[in-house]
Structure 1
Amino acid sequence: MIFLNSFLIFILGACFGSFLNVCIYRLPINKQIISGRSFCPRCKKYINWFDNLPLISFLFLNGKCRKCKKVIPLRYFIVEITTGIIFLLIYLNYNDLSTIIFLSVLSLIYIIIIFIDLENFIIPDSLNFSVMAIALFKNFLPNFNTSFIHEINQSIIGGMVGYLSIWLIIYLYKVIKKIEGMGLGDAKLMAGIGLLFGWQSVPFVLFVSAILGLIFVLPSLLNKQKNMRSEIPFGPFIIAACLIYFTYGDFLYSLILV
Structure 2
Amino acid sequence: MTKTHDNSIELSGLSVRTSSFLLGVSVVFFALIYAAGFHFDAGYPLSEPFWSVGSLVLGVACLALIWFDLREFRLPNLITLAMAVSGLLFTYAGQMPNALYAVALNAISGLVAYLGILALAWASTKLLGRQGIGLGDGKLLAAIACWMGPQVLPPILMISSGLGIFLSLLLQTLLRRSKTQPTGYIPFGPALCMSAWFLWNFSDLWPFMP
For the Cα contact (< 8 Å) 1:161–1:202, is it kept in 2?
no
Counterpart in 1 of 2:58?
Answer: 106
- What is the aligned partner in structure 2 of residue 176 from structure 1? 127
Counterpart CA distance in 2 for 1:169 and 1:226 is: 28
**CA–CA distance in structure 1, aligned partners of residues 95 and 158 of structure 2:** 31
Corresponding residue for residue 198 of structure 1: 149
How far apart are 1:102 and its partner, in Å?
A: 3.1
For residue 24 of structure 2, what is the aligned residue in structure 1? Answer: 78
2-side partners of 1:170 and 1:160: how far apart?
15
What CA RMSD, in Å, does the superposition of the two structures yield over aligned residues?
Answer: 3.9
Which residue does the alignment assign to 2:46? 93
Q: Using the alignment, how far apart are the partners of 1:77 and 1:177 within structure 2?
A: 31
Contact 1:116–1:122 (8 Å) recurs in 2: yes
Counterparts in 2 of 1:211 and 1:142: CA distance versus 1, 3 Å: closer
Conservation of the 8 A alpha-carbon contact between 1:128 and 1:188: yes
- Aligned partners of 1:240, 1:154: CA distance in 2, in Å? 23
Paired with 2:200 and 2:31, the residues of 1 have a C-alpha distance of 17
SS in 2 for 1:122: coil
**Correspondence for 1:238:** 192
- For structure 2, list consecutive stretches of 5 or more residues without a partner in the other structure: 1-15, 39-44
Q: Structure 1: which amino acid aligns with 2:186?
A: I
Question: How far did 1:125 drift?
Answer: 0.5
Please state how far the C-alpha of 1:159 moved relative to its aligned partner: 0.8
* CA distance in 1 between partners of 2:118 and 2:22 (Å): 33
Distance 1:195 1:76 in 2: 26
Per-residue deviation at 1:76? 11
**Identical-residue share of aligned pairs (%):** 22
Structure 2 length as normaliser, TM-score? 0.67
Q: Mark the runs of 5 or more structure 1 residues left unpaired by the alignment.
A: 1-41, 43-70
Q: Residue 103 of structure 2 corresponds to which residue in structure 1?
A: 152
Alpha-carbon distance between aligned partners in 1 of 2:23 and 2:160, rounded to the nearest angstrom: 26
For 1:164, the equivalent position in structure 2 comes to 115
Instruction: State the structure with bigger RCO (CA 8 A, min sep 6), 1 or 2.
Output: 2
How many residue pairs match? The answer is: 175
Structure 1 or 2, whichever has the larger Rg, is 1
Report if the CA contact (8 A) 1:122-1:185 is conserved.
Answer: yes
Structure 2 match to 1:30: none
| Inter-CA distance 99–168: structure 2 relative to 1 (3 Å threshold) | same
Q: Distance in 2 between matches of 1:197 and 1:101?
A: 15
Which structure's residues are more often helix, by fraction?
2
- Give TM-score scaled by structure 1 length: 0.55
